[in-house]
Structure 1
Amino acid sequence: MNGSASLLTVALVAAALVIRTAVAELRNPGSARARWAVASRTRTVTAGAVTAAVLGVVGWRYAGHGAVAWAVLAGALVVVVVDRRPPPE
């Protein structure tokens, strides 16, 4: 996959996530604030930033701009995964 197609794919995935949040907000007002509250937690943001930085450096070296965009998306997804809490007992 060439660089511009890879960037377009990342943009489409990011747009789908934003649209999903917007639809959830329309159905349940206030849900977007709760969904994006992960961006205020230090532990989750640090994990995402480290992941994006490591993948970005390695990706830039081997694949260029497209890999950096995927690294940023992977970092954002790591933020969501790290924020997951076990279900209450």
Structure 2
Amino acid sequence: MNGPASVLTVAIVIAALVIRTALAEMRRPGSARTQWAVATNARALTAGALTTAVLGLIGMQSYGYGAAAWAVLAGALVALSLDKRTPGE
């Protein structure tokens, strides 16, 4: 796994998520707060942190620091998927 190329790919995915949030915010003010309310959900954050830790440890032993960036992205996506709030909350 090429470290700099791997980190660049993760940065592009994160930038796409941020752009998606910004576009939604321009269309409907206040929607960004709803999309990223996962930061206040302890259960989702714990699962994301645990995923990041496990994948980071396994990945860094095998592939180096590029895997750590992927572990952080995977942890964030796990946390987002576990957040069970309805759009109105």
TM range (shorter): over 0.9
Consecutive unaligned residues of structure 1, counting only runs of 5 or more, are none
Matched residues in 2 for 1:10 and 1:80: separation? 16
For structure 2, the 5+ residue unaligned runs are none
Matches within 5 A, 1:22-37: 22-37=22-37
Question: Which shows bigger deviation, 76-85 or 64-73?
Answer: 76-85
Q: Does 1:7 align with 2:10?
A: no
Change (3 A) 1:40 1:21: same
Inter-partner Cα distance in structure 2 for 1:84 and 1:4: 34
Provide TM-score, normalisation by structure 2. 0.92
Q: What is the TM-score when the length of structure 1 is the normalising length?
A: 0.92
> Deviation digits for residues 2-39 of structure 1, max 9, x if unmatched?
11000000000000000000000000000000110011
**Match status 1:40 vs 2:40:** yes
What is the distance in 1 between the residues matched to 2:18 and 2:26? Answer: 12
**Shift of residue 75 of structure 1?**
0.1
Which residue of structure 2 aligns with residue 73 of structure 1?
73
Q: Aligned residues, how many? A: 86
Residue type at the aligned position of 2:55: L
- Runs (4 or more) in structure 1 with deviation over 4 Å come to none
Matching residue's letter, 1:16: A
Cα-Cα RMSD: 1.3
Residue 51 of structure 2 is aligned to residue 51 of structure 1: yes
